[in-house]
Amino acid sequence: MAEATATGTTGTDEWQPKIVMFCCNWCSYGGADSAGMGRFQQPPTVRVIRVMCSGRMDPMFILNAFLEGADGVIFSGCHIGDCHYVNGNYKATIKYKFLKAMVNELGLEDERLKLDWISASEGERYANVVTEFTEQIKKVGPSPLKPEGVV
Amino acid sequence: MNETIFTTVCPGCSIACGMYVREKDDGTIDIDWRKDAVVNAGKLCRFGVRLSANLKNATSRVDGNEVEFSDAVTAAGKAIGDGATFISVGNTTCAEHLALMKLAESKSAIVNTGMGAFSSIPSECHPTMGVGVPLDAIENAKKIVLFIDPYEQYPLLVRRILAAKKNGATVTAVGWKAVSLADDNKTIDPANYESDLDLDSDSVIIAELNPSTDPARVMVLLNLAKASGAAIMFMKPFVNAVGCDIASKKTEQKSLDQIIAEINHGTIKTLVCLDSDLIEIMPDETAVREALGKLDNLIVITSRASAITDVAKIVIATEPFYKKAGTVVNAEGRALHNSGESTDGIDAIGAMMGQPVGMYDEIHATLLATLGIDEVDERVIPTYEKPEYGAMDANPTAEAVETALVYAGGPFFWNGIVDDNDFVEMNLDMVTANSLLKGIPAKITSDKGEAAVKYKVSDVAPGVVLSNVKLPMTTGMVTSVTVSR
Amino acid sequence: MDIGDCYVGWATDEDIRTRGASGGLVTAMLAAALEKGLVEAVVVLKKLGEFEAVPVVTSDPEEVKAAAGSMHSVPIVLSRYLEYGTKVALPAKPCDARSTIEQAKRGQVDIDTTYIVGLNCGGTMHPAMTRKMLDVMYKLDPEDIEGEEIDKGKLIFETKDGEEHAIKIDELEEEGYGRRESCQYCFTNIPVMADLACGNWGVIGDLAGKGTFVEINTEKGIEILQNAIDSGAVEVTEADEKGKAIRAKVDGAMMKVAAAANEKYLAPIEGSHLDYYMNALKDCINCGACKTVCPVCACGEGAKCTEFSSAADTYKMSLFHLVRFVHLMDSCIGCGQCTDVCPADISLTHIYQRFARPMQDEFEYKPGMDMTTPPFFGVDLLEEGH
């Protein structure tokens, strides 16, 4: 995945955002696998953390990611109605509302936090989401919350 | 279902923040914020907020066995003879300290406060070393120089300094670590204090005096205050250090190091400690434990269980601090009264002297007379004066060490309590120079031993490893160490 | 008696009636509740000084009667003082009542055994500020003060010589004195969420100063009031329409004042939000008091905000604070306790309110008004299109 992608460059002297992506085990993580298997190219900016359900979203994960130096955070789960645990993604939706409002009020750019629904078969979509988000983050630049010494 | 509310002060440091302790029927306590307290407007630092979790009541013991209070007192009475040494650093009320002074007197001895610096510095300087600047006056200073880290050591000073800044003051910090509220953080050789710090009579110097402070250092700071005309405040780590100092009338004091040396030498065989845990207070715990083990009689009169109560021959357990009838005098010279009425500590000392119970009133009257007040009123504070004293010849011996482990003691440190401040701080250069890894503890080694300790990268002076927690391999407040992965 | 009924009541004991605020109804009711075994404990404000009162739990009716009189105090966090399930009655300003209800939602307090006797409130004052204000604005010695009241927008102090000294509250607050900030922008003056709503607004004519207006909000409210009447401790008479109208009018006037304060304190931040918040919090000394006194914090020792943040962190902002911002978004009642106890003098309340207000408005949820589950946990609140 270190080769140049169609949409962006991964030249070694260009700043690469660090993006943390929380993927639900059943759909989105499967989607990541599908992206891999389908050889869909994406920039190597994302660090995936698997959670069982998007409902596992905890403000701490997101805040901790930003404090540790993440430039962007994506939380991804099953499409509404398809949650493996029935309504986990509904819970995620509500929590996300709070987190988005908080992060915006705090002063982080709106682009830095995203919630999406990616199913296990949507490999190409997964790659697109990652690519688009990376572009977005490159535009807003490094996170102002990045600690000293983290690139 | 009833509660007793005690109006008291936090026993953490010499600021003596007002607080409430709520005691339930079953003896469990919780703290509450006393917003009308003049010293702190009710606000508390970490230590005060967590007091109820950290306060452990003592149990009376003889030779390790739990006994009745009166039996412990009797045993102590028999053991204390002429030649006994007495220590009270200021962790308890003036009344108890004065009572101990009477007992000591009856044995031809004095009570040591452990602040040996007083003995090596001319007495004309003692008032300045004793009672400090009113906290309100700090808010009105034009310049403030900090020789302490207010965030760690005396946190309730922070809001006073912030208020001073709002009033236009500039703040300089001269210490081991950059202090975020300072406009300027400097590392200055003591020889250059007067030249490098532009102070005048509208300035306030805030420093610390504890049992391990080098007298030469105190002299340098006194010289600085004299030369510039600035007011100087020596903060102390014990709630009633100032009160005990005033009560002791500055009789020739030994330092704690001297006392330990004499114990090792065999000159001291009986030691009586009043709410003074030498193991907690002194930096080299191993050396202290070793010395205490050589005593024939280690007698501890204390309100809380701590390291020393585990090794003492006799423990006389008195009531918790918040329950004591008595007064403390804080760093500003302000007399503060506990609402409690219990006199176990005084009665115990009285019993050892063969005095009848009821000594409290007499002692309290003596205290009022000594302080020059008719009653204890928290809103009354002595007028701050700048007494004259002569400049002194002072050469603080700072050994050139490559890497120094330094303790910047805060309330948790002085009370032997570890909380989440169990890490050391060093600057990034030291971390990279020693190839330390993130998240992996650093190994700190001295002549005495080594330990692996969590570390944090902070803006710390070069060559310094700053610790808020006592580490096993230290030999003093400053220890030469090496740092490795 | 029915829910919604309004009365004017007073203590039958002349001493309590005189010492008590506006007729001593609340004191007499609380004492009677203890005497007749309706509750096992009462929380009262024990007066320790002219400007100082501390909440105390007691089972002694005499202690309750001794505590008569209105005083400034700051919110009571019931769960810190009592065990779950204790039958207790407490006098509560709207913020105290809301705080109790929020604790009930979190299993800290059993709402069914807790009788909340609500008190109207126009705001409280911090004792340290009060003393300074008396010195600077009124030119009075705090030791000379014998009483205080608010009337027609003026804060009036009575000195021992019987003189009254009044200054308009607006004027005081312009100078940085007066009520606590959180009180200034609070819209909840009448405790509609408590079992009873008591106060002196709406008491007119002969009874002014000698009677308390009381509105019944719940069954428990009927219980505690009826108990006091049956035991002979209080007498009531129906409130008249004029009184009710006046009460509503005073409330309306206070709301207007609050609206102006909202404009002042909660105006949008100019410039970088991040700089604003980082700056506000940079002198935090990590005492944890804000969390300890927060009425809606029920996590105790194992809270995420404290477990996962440490003094060893080298982050640009403290995780403790950030987590609290999120957790309080739906639940902060703006009681102001956090600001009072902060040793770095950080104006925490309005920081939390900046995060909380928009969310509470969006979900049309007001914490502490009833037992509705906070929206953060309310999956049922999901609407079409979200």
User: What CATH code is carried by the domain that includes residue B410?
Assistant: 2.40.40.20
pLDDT band at B460 (very low <50, low <70, confident <90, very high): very high
Range of the structural domain that residue C277 is part of: 273-378
φ/ψ of residue B203, rounded to 5: -105, 155
Contact B306, B299 (CB under 8 A): no
Same domain as C189, residue C329: no
Give domain status of residue C225, yes or no. Answer: yes
> Across the beta sheet with A19-24, what order do the strands follow?
A46-51, A19-24, A72-77, A113-117
Q: Is residue C371 part of a domain?
A: yes
CA C194/CA C370 separation, integer angstroms: 9
Identify all chain B residues contacting A147, using CB atoms and an 8 Å cutoff.
Answer: none
Closest partner residue to C358 (CB to CB) among A87, A101, A145 is A101
Residues B10 and B78 in one domain: no
Residue C265 in domain: no
- The pLDDT of residue A92 is 94
pLDDT score for A3: 42
Q: Are residues C18 and C102 in the same domain?
A: yes
pLDDT confidence of residue B9: 97
Note whether B169 and B112 are same-domain residues: yes
The answer to whether the CB of B101 falls within 8 A of the CB of B76 is no
Band the pLDDT of B284: cuts 50, 70, 90.
very high
Q: Which residues contact C346 (CB under 8 A, 6 or more apart)?
A: C280, C281, C283, C284, C339
Interface contact flag, A68 C386, Cβ < 8 Å:
no
Position A9 confidence tier, pLDDT thresholds 50, 70, 90: very low
Q: Which chain C residue has the Cα nearest residue B152?
A: C285
Distance to chain C for B18, nearest Cα, Å:
12
Are C290 and C207 contained in the same domain?
A: no
Distances from the Cα of C12 to the Cα of A84, B279, C24, C67, C202, angstroms? 65, 62, 9, 17, 20
| Minimal CA separation from C183 to chain A, in Å | 23
Domain count, chain C: 3
Strands (E), B34-176: 61-62, 65-66, 85-87, 111-112, 143-146, 170-174
Separation of alpha carbons B273 and B280, rounded Å: 13
Whether B336 and B452 share a structural domain: no
Q: Per the CB < 8 Å rule, is A107 touching C379? A: no
A-C interface: how many C-beta pairs under 8 angstroms? 82
Mean pLDDT confidence for A48-74? 95
How many helices (H) and strands (E) in chain A? 4, 4
Would you state the structure tokens that stand for residue B207, as one six-digit string? Answer: 């420093």
**How many domains are there within chain B?**
3
Which member of C80, C282, C286 has the closest CB to residue B30? Answer: C80
Residues C108 and C226 in one domain: yes
DSSP sequence for A2-53: -SPPSSS---TTS----EEEEEETTTHHHHHHHHHHTT----TTEEEEEES-
CB spacing of C285 vs B35 below 8 angstroms: no
pLDDT at C359 over 60: yes
What gap in Å lies between CA B333 and CA C46, rounded to an integer?
Answer: 29
Residues 130-149 of A with CB under 8 A from B: 148-149
Report the chain B residue with the minimal C-alpha distance to residue C285: B151
Residues B7 and B140 grouped into a single domain: no
Handedness of CA C137, C140, C142, C144 (dihedral sign): negative
State the Rg of chain B over Cα: 22
Please report where in the chains the tokens 């009133």 appear, as a residue.
B361
Residue to substitute from C307, C308, C315, interface A, most A β-carbons within 10 A: C315
Least confident of B144-148, B218-222, B351-355: B351-355
The predicted pLDDT at position C386 comes to 45
Q: Are strands B65-66 and B449-453 parallel, antiparallel or unpaired?
A: unpaired
- The span from the CA of B317 to the CA of B276, in Å, is 13
CA angle, residues B50, B52, B55, in degrees to nearest 5: 105
Q: For residue C166, give the DSSP letter.
A: E
Mutate which: A64, A95, A96, vs C, most C CBs within 10 A = A64
CB contact under 8 A, B5 and C46: yes
Is the domain of C233 the same as that of C328?
no
Q: Do C85 and C217 reside in the same domain of the chain?
A: yes
- Report the C-alpha gap between C81 and C221 in whole angstroms: 22
Measure the N-to-C terminal CA separation of chain B; round to a whole number of Å. 56
Sign of CA dihedral C173, C179, C180, C184: negative
What pLDDT, on a 0 to 100 scale, did the predictor assign at position B3?
87
- Are residues B137 and B36 part of one domain? no
Residues of chain C contacting B, Cβ within 8 Å: 40-41, 46, 48-49, 51-52, 54, 56-60, 74, 80-82, 86, 126-128, 282-283, 285-289, 292-293, 310-314, 340-345
- Identity at B301, one-letter amino acid code: I
Candidates C273, C308, C362; nearest CB to A107? C273
Alpha-carbon separation of residue B178 from B85, B184, B203, B237, B437 (angstroms): 41, 8, 20, 21, 23
Chain B residues touching residue C127 (CB < 8 angstroms) = 35-36
- Single out the residue in B355, B378, B397 at which a domain terminates: B397
- Contact residues, chain A, for B457 at CB < 8 Å: 148-149
pLDDT for the residue numbered C73: 67
Average pLDDT of C261-268? 92
pLDDT number for residue C36: 95
Averaged pLDDT for residues C315-332: 95
Question: Taking CA atoms, what residue in A is nearest to C330?
Answer: A98
Q: Kindly give the residue spans of alpha helices, DSSP state H, lying in chain C.
A: 14-19, 25-35, 61-66, 78-81, 94-105, 127-133, 169-174, 181-184, 219-230, 241-265, 273-281, 289-293, 304-307, 319-328, 337-341, 348-362
Q: Is B38 in Cβ contact with C128 (below 8 Å)?
A: yes
Judged against a pLDDT cut of 60, whether residue C375 lies above it is answered with: yes
Q: Which residues of A touch C316 (CB under 8 A)?
A: 67, 144-147
Taking the CA of residue C168 and the nearest CA in chain A, the distance in Å comes to 35
CA distances from B104 to B98, B245, C87 (A): 10, 16, 53
In this complex, the residue of A87, A93, A147 whose CB is nearest that of residue C315 is A147
Indicate if B45 and B89 belong to the same structural domain: no
Is-contact B172 B203, C-beta < 8 A? no
For the four alpha carbons of C170, C350, C375 and C95, in that order, the dihedral sign comes to negative
Contacts of C142 (CB under 8 A, 6+ apart): C50, C51, C130, C131, C134, C135
Query: Which residue segment(s) compose the domain that B106 sits in?
Result: 58-397
Interface of C with A (CB under 8 A): 272-277, 304, 308, 313-317, 319, 322-323, 325-327, 329-330, 354-355, 358-359, 362, 375-376, 378-379, 381-382, 386
d(CA B91, CA B214) in angstroms, rounded, equals 21
CA distance B54 to chain C (A): 14
Interface contact B46-C283, CB threshold 8 A: no
Same domain, C249 and C282: no
How far apart CA B105 and CA B84 sit, in angstroms, is 11
The residue assigned the tokens 């080594």 is: B450
Contacts of A101 in chain C (CB under 8 A): 329, 355, 358-359, 362
Q: Is residue C57 part of a domain?
A: yes
| For residue A46, pLDDT beyond 90 | yes
Q: Model's pTM, two decimal places?
A: 0.93
User: Could you tell me which of B434, B426, B419, B415 has the C-alpha nearest to residue B459?
Assistant: B426
Statement: residue C347 has pLDDT above 90: yes
Cβ <8 Å between C316 and A60: no
Q: Which of C205, C226, C256 corresponds to the end of one domain?
A: C256
Same domain, C236 and C357: no
Cα gap A81→A87, rounded to integer Å? 8
User: Does residue A2 have a pLDDT over 60?
Assistant: no
C182 within 8 A of C336, measured Cβ to Cβ: yes
Query: Do B377 and B467 have their domain in common?
Result: no
CATH number at residue C17: 3.40.640
Q: Span B387-402, mean pLDDT?
A: 81
Average of per-residue pLDDT across B171-176: 94
Residue B418 distance to chain C (closest CA, Å): 13
Q: What is the pLDDT of residues C129-155, one digit of tens each?
A: 999 999 999 999 998 998 888 877 889
Query: Looking at the structure, do residues C64 and C204 belong to the same domain, yes or no?
Result: yes
Select from B376, B306, B363, B284 the least CA-distant residue to B91: B306
Closest in C272, C329, C362 to A102, CB measured: C329
Pair B99, B246 in one domain: yes
At a CB cut-off of 8 Å and minimum separation 6, what does C166 contact? Answer: C151, C154, C155, C156, C157
pLDDT at B401: 78
B147 and B197, same domain (yes or no): yes
Backbone angles phi, psi at A78, to 5 degrees: -75, 155
Final residue in a domain of this structure, among B349, B376, B397: B397
Chain C CB contacts of A58 below 8 Å = 304
Q: Which amino acid is at B81?
A: G
| A149, closest residue in chain B (CA to CA) | B428
- For residue B225 the two structure tokens come to 């205050």
Confidence of residue A4 (pLDDT cuts 50, 70, 90): very low
Q: Which residues of A touch B459 (CB under 8 A)?
A: none
What pLDDT is recorded for position A12? 57
Is residue C180 situated within a structural domain? no
Closest chain B C-alpha to C96 CA, distance in angstroms: 16
Give the Cα separation of C221 and A85 in Å (integer): 43
Domain stop point among B363, B397, B431: B397
pLDDT at B151 over 80: yes
3-state secondary structure of C119: strand
Map out the domains of chain A with their CATH numbers.
19-139 (3.40.50.960)
B127 or A6, which is more confident: B127
Order across the sheet with B85-87: list the strands: B65-66, B61-62, B314-317, B297-302, B270-274, B85-87, B111-112
Mean pLDDT value across residues B42-64: 94
Quick one: pLDDT at residue C380? 63
Which residues of B have a CB under 8 Å from any CB of A? 428, 457
Asked if residue C261 belongs to a domain, the reply is no
* Type of residue at B215: P
- ipTM entry: 0.93
* CA dist., res. B213 & res. B351, Å (int): 35
Joined tokens for residue C164: 């009254």
Residue C70 pLDDT class (50, 70, 90 cuts): low
Q: What is the pLDDT of residue B251?
A: 67
For B458, the closest chain A residue by CA position comes to A148
Enumerate the residues of chain B whose CB falls inside 8 A of the CB of residue C46: 5
* CB–CB contact A99 C386 (8 Å): no
Tell me if C8 sits within 8 A of C214, measured CB to CB.
Answer: yes
Q: B442 and B305, same structural domain?
A: no
Q: Over pLDDT 90: what percentage of chain B?
A: 80
Minimum mean pLDDT range among A8-12, A123-127, B348-352, C234-238: A8-12
Chain A residues in contact with C304 by the CB 8 A cut-off are 58, 60
What is the three-class DSSP state of C335? coil
Q: What is the pLDDT of residues C40-68, one digit of tens each?
A: 999 988 888 888 888 889 999 998 888 87
CB contact under 8 A, C343 and B457: no
- C47 CA to centre of own chain: 17
8 A C-beta contact, residue B455 and residue B408: no
For residue B418, give the 3-state DSSP assignment. Answer: coil
Q: How confident is the model at residue C275 (pLDDT cuts 50, 70, 90)?
A: very high
Residues C186-242: pLDDT tens digits?
999 999 999 999 998 999 888 888 899 999 999 999 999 999 999 999 999 999 999
How crowded is residue B178: how many other Cβ atoms within 10 Å of its Cβ? 17
**C149 and C49 housed in the same domain:** no
Nearest Cα neighbor of B150 from B187, B179, B185, B172 is B179
- Given a cut of 70, is residue B380 above it in pLDDT? yes
Smallest Cα distance from C379 to chain B, Å: 36
Same domain, yes or no: C13 and C100: yes
* Count of beta carbons in the 10 Å neighbourhood of residue A15: 11
From chain B, the residues in CB contact with A149 under 8 A are: 428, 457
Give the closest of C319, C325, C386 to A93, CB-based: C386
The rounded percent of chain C whose pLDDT value lies above 90 is 73
Best residue in A56, A60, A90 for a mutation probing chain C (most C CBs within 10 Å): A60
Query: Measured between beta carbons, which residues in chain B are less than 8 angstroms from residue C297?
Result: none
| Per-residue confidence (pLDDT) for residue C381, from 0 to 100 | 47
Residues C120, C142, single domain; the answer is no
Query: Cβ(A137)–Cβ(A74) under 8 Å?
Result: no
Integer Cα distance of A127 and A132 in angstroms = 9
pLDDT at res. A11 = 52
* Chain B residues close to A148, C-beta within 8 Å: 428, 457
In a domain, C179, yes or no: no
C32 in a structural domain:
yes
- In this structure, are B376 and B426 located in the same domain? no
The distance of A9 to chain C (nearest Cα, Å) reads 30
B291 shares a domain with B391: yes
Distance, CA of C160 to CA of C149 (rounded, Å): 15
C6-11/C234-238 β-pairing: antiparallel
State how far the Cα of A15 lies from the Cα of C125, in Å rounded to an integer: 53
Q: Residue B104 is which amino acid?
A: A
Q: Tell me which residue of A151, A110, A117 sits closest to A18, measured CA to CA.
A: A151
